C-alpha cells in the first residue's frame, strides 16, 4: 500500500464517519493493519488480485439509524475500491454497535459522557 493510498483511506474514512455516522472527526481513530497476502483467503483461496480489504468500525449502540449504517457501508466500500483498485466481492465493511456502558475514551464510558452536563 502506498502512502497516498493510506492517506486516502485514513482521511476518507474519517470524513465518512463525520458526514454519515455523525461522529466527531477529531475523535475518530483510523488504524491500517497490513496482513501478508498469503495470510488472507476468501473461500479457502487467495484473492485473484492478491489484494483484499476489510473495514471495521465501532459506534455506540443506538446512535445511528439503519439508513446511516447502510449508506456508510456503501460509501466505505466505494472508498476502498477507489483507493485500492478492484477488490473481491467478499470485501466486508462491519459496524459494531457497542453498548454505551462497555466502551469509551479518555477514561470515561460513553454512558458517563451522556450524563455529563453540556457546556456551552
Q: Is residue 98 part of a domain?
A: yes
CA gap 1, 79 in Å, rounded: 14
Q: What is 50-78 written as a DSSP string?
A: S---EEEEEEETTSS-HHHHHHHHHHHHH
Q: Is residue 90 part of a domain?
A: yes
CATH of the domain at 88: 3.30.429.10
Residue 47: what pLDDT? 87
Helix (H) or strand (E) holding 18: helix 3-19
Structural domain boundaries enclosing 101:
3-34+46-115
What's the whole-number mean pLDDT along residues 84-100? 95
Q: Is residue 39 part of a domain?
A: no
> Model pTM?
0.90
When divided into structural domains, the chain yields a total of 1
Q: Is residue 53 part of a domain?
A: yes
Those residues with Cβ within 8 angstroms of residue 18's Cβ, 6 or more apart along the chain or in another chain: 24, 25, 28
Q: Grid coordinates 457497542 are at which residue?
A: 98
Helix (H) or strand (E) holding 112: helix 110-115
Residue pLDDT, tens place only, 51-90 = 899 999 999 999 999 999 999 999 999 999 999 999 998 9
Amino acid at each position: 500500500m502506498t502512502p497516498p493510498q493510506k492517506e486516502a483511506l485514513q482521511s476518507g474514512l474519517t470524513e465518512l464517519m463525520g458526514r454519515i455516522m455523525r461522529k466527531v472527526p477529531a475523535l475518530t481513530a483510523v488504524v491500517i493493519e497490513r496482513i501478508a497476502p498469503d495470510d488472507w483467503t476468501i473461500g479457502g483461496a487467495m484473492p485473484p488480485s492478491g489484494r483484499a480489504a476489510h473495514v471495521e468500525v465501532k459506534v455506540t449502540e443506538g446512535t445511528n439509524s439503519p439508513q446511516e449504517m447502510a449508506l456508510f457501508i456503501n460509501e466505505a466500500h466505494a472508498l476502498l475500491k477507489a483507493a485500492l483498485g478492484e477488490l473481491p466481492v467478499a470485501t466486508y465493511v462491519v459496524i459494531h454497535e457497542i453498548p454505551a456502558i462497555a466502551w469509551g475514551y479518555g477514561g470515561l464510558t460513553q454512558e458517563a459522557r451522556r450524563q455529563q452536563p453540556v457546556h456551552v
